[in-house]
Structure 1
Amino acid sequence: MTALLVPVDGSPSSLNALQAALNFLKNDTSARLHVISVQPPILSGNVKRFVPAETIDDYYNEEGEKALASAREMLEKSGAAANVSVQVGPVAETVVEYAKSHQCDHIVMGTRGMGYIKGLVLGSITTKVLSLTDLPVTLIK
């Protein structure tokens, strides 16, 4: 059974990656698809000191769901079943750990996300995932 992981951030590149994954899995009815949005943790101790944990969790979920909105629409239109979730942690490390813990065989991801440095040929998160995982990674523009 094939299990693909597609991390999305709402960027065109990540949505193209999801479409590619859907195309890969079109004829494989036993395949599993995981779609995640990873929210980087708030590192400031001051925020955590003055803002309740529940409010911070709500923020992570709200931002994650914004990033997943277009992906959910794509999944609904395709009729594909997927495990969709919001994760919190260092982005690249969380993607790799999720893939490992959910026994994914392959990661399909965009080459560049919503980061502030648009001019890089390959995004920093993508580069880090490539360096951290032993799984095959397919990059989609």
Structure 2
Amino acid sequence: MNILLPVDGSALSLQAVHHAIRLTRQGLNASFVLANVQEHSSLYEVMVMHDAEALQRVRLTAGEHSLAEADALLTEAGIEHQIEVALGDPAHTLIDIIERFQCDSVIMGAHGMGESSAVVGDVAQALLRGSPVPVMIVRPPPEPESLEEESDAARAAASQGADADE
């Protein structure tokens, strides 16, 4: 089984990598394609830099940097993987990568950098709609406030149960 792991360097994309590692430790026999998609240069960047090849090298270097921690995690875990840095629209390019690497599924974070308030970000939504293979979304952990509220509610329920026993 070949699984795509889109990584943009955000904490949530790395949580998806940790989730994939847990799945392999629990018996999933899979190899992975770590992918990062860098968007094309803006007109402003092209006007300022004047060198399209240099801009492309900068983008590819940024993509490799975004994948470095995920690459290290999979390497340390002894999990077979490939790395792909591509340029283009993230959702469309990830679908191209799925097809090119013959991926059987995708494991990804619910949202990437810059979309922290979104439940499911634009790229994840686009993949859910357009991917030719199943997509597993790794949600962010609950906010600390939510955990405190749940703990308070659990303590209140426990004390009510204790009061009923008395």
Which band: TM-score by shorter chain? 0.7 to 0.9
Q: Cα distance 1:61–1:23, how it changes in 2: closer, same or farther (>3 A)?
A: same
Aligned length: 138
Structure whose CA Rg is larger: 2
Does 1 or 2 have the higher relative contact order (CA < 8 Å, sep 6+)? 1
How far has the Cα of 1:107 moved from its partner?
0.5
**Distance in 1 of aligned mates of 2:62 and 2:56:** 10
Runs of 4+ in 1 over 6 A off after TM superposition: none
**Corresponding position of 1:75:** 74
After TM superposition, list the pairs within 5 Å mapping 1:1-141 onto structure 2: 2-26=1-25, 27-29=27-29, 31-44=30-43, 47=46, 51-115=50-114, 117-141=115-139
Give distance in 2, aligned partners of 1:99 and 1:137.
Answer: 11
Task: Please state which structure has a larger fraction of its residues in helix.
Answer: 2
Q: TM-score, normalised by structure 2?
A: 0.75
CA RMSD of aligned residues (A): 1.9
- What's the offset of the Cα at 1:118? 2.2
Aligned counterparts of 1:28 and 1:133: Cα–Cα separation in 2: 21
List alignment gaps of at least 5 residues for structure 1. Answer: none
Structure 2 stretches lacking a partner, 5+ long: 140-166
Give the Cα–Cα distance (whole angstroms) in 2 for the partners of residues 76 and 105 of structure 1: 21
Percent sequence identity is: 29
Secondary structure of the 2:126 match is helix
